A and B are shown apart, each in its own frame.
Chain A
Amino acid sequence: MNRFRRAVMWAALLLIILLTALSIYGAFIGPERAERFFNSIALGVYWLVLAVLLAVGIIVFRRLIRMPGLLLIHLGCIIVLAGGIWGSKAGYGLREKLFGISKIREGQMVIHEGTRENQVMIGSARETAELPFQVGLKDFRMEYYKPGQLLVQSRQGKRWSIPAEIGNEYPLDEQHGTVKILRSFENFKIKKEDGKNVYYDDPQPGSNPALEVQINPPDGDAKTRYVFELFPGHAHAEDKLSLRYQRVISDYVSELQVIKDDKVVAEKDIEVNHPLYYGGYHFYQHSYDDKAGRYTVLMVVSDTGLNLVYAGYLMLCIGVLWHLWLRHLLKAIKPKDTGAADSGGAAVPGPSIEPDPPIVNDTVSLAPGGI
Chain B
Amino acid sequence: MEIKYTIQGLLIYISIAVYLFAFLLTLLGRKKAGHLLHALGSGVAALAFGYRWHHVRHVPLQNLFEVFLCLGMISYPISRFCRRILRVGGEYGDMLIAAIVLFPAGFVFKADPQRLPPALQSWLFTPHVAVYMLSYIFMAKATFQAVAQLAGKTPSPGEDIVSPEQGTYRVVCAGFPLLTLGLVLGSWWGKLAWGDYWGWDPKELWSLASWLVYLGYFHFRYMFGRRYARANSIWAIAGTAAIVITLLWVNLSRLFPGLHSYAT
Task: List residues of A whose CB falls within 8 A of some B CB.
Answer: 9-10, 12-13, 16-17, 19-20, 23-24, 26-28, 30-32, 34-35, 38, 84, 106, 145, 248-252, 271-275, 282, 284, 286, 299, 301, 306, 309-310, 313, 316-317, 320-321, 324-325, 345, 347-353, 357-359, 362-364, 366-368, 371
Contact = CB atoms under 8 A, between A and B. Distances in A.
B229 to A, nearest CB: 10
Contacts of B222: 9, 352, 357, 359
Interface string B182-215: 0010011101111111111110011011001101
Closest 10 CB pairs of A and B: A352-B225, A34-B200, A272-B118, A27-B202, A27-B205, A23-B209, A364-B173, A20-B212, A273-B122, A358-B225
B199 A325 contact: no
B192 A275 contact: yes
A313 B188 CA distance: 9
Nearest to B206: A27
A324 B173 contact: yes
Nearest to B125: A273
Contact of A34 (B116, B205, B255): B205
B221 A317 contact: no
Interface stretch (B18-26, B45-53, B82-90, B145-153): B82-90
Main secondary structure on chain B at its contact with chain A? helix
17 contacts: A27-B205, A28-B256, A30-B257, A34-B200, A38-B200, A272-B119, A273-B189, A274-B192, A313-B187, A317-B184, A320-B176, A351-B224, A351-B227, A363-B173, A364-B86, A364-B169, A366-B86
Contacts of A313: 184, 187-188
Contact of B195 (A24, A284, A363): A284
Contact of A9 (B116, B173, B219): B219
Contacts of A28: 202, 255-256
Contacts of B205: 23-24, 26-27, 34
Given A273-B193, A313-B187, A349-B225, 13 more contacts: A16-B215, A20-B212, A27-B205, A27-B209, A28-B256, A251-B121, A271-B118, A313-B188, A317-B181, A348-B226, A351-B223, A357-B225, A367-B85
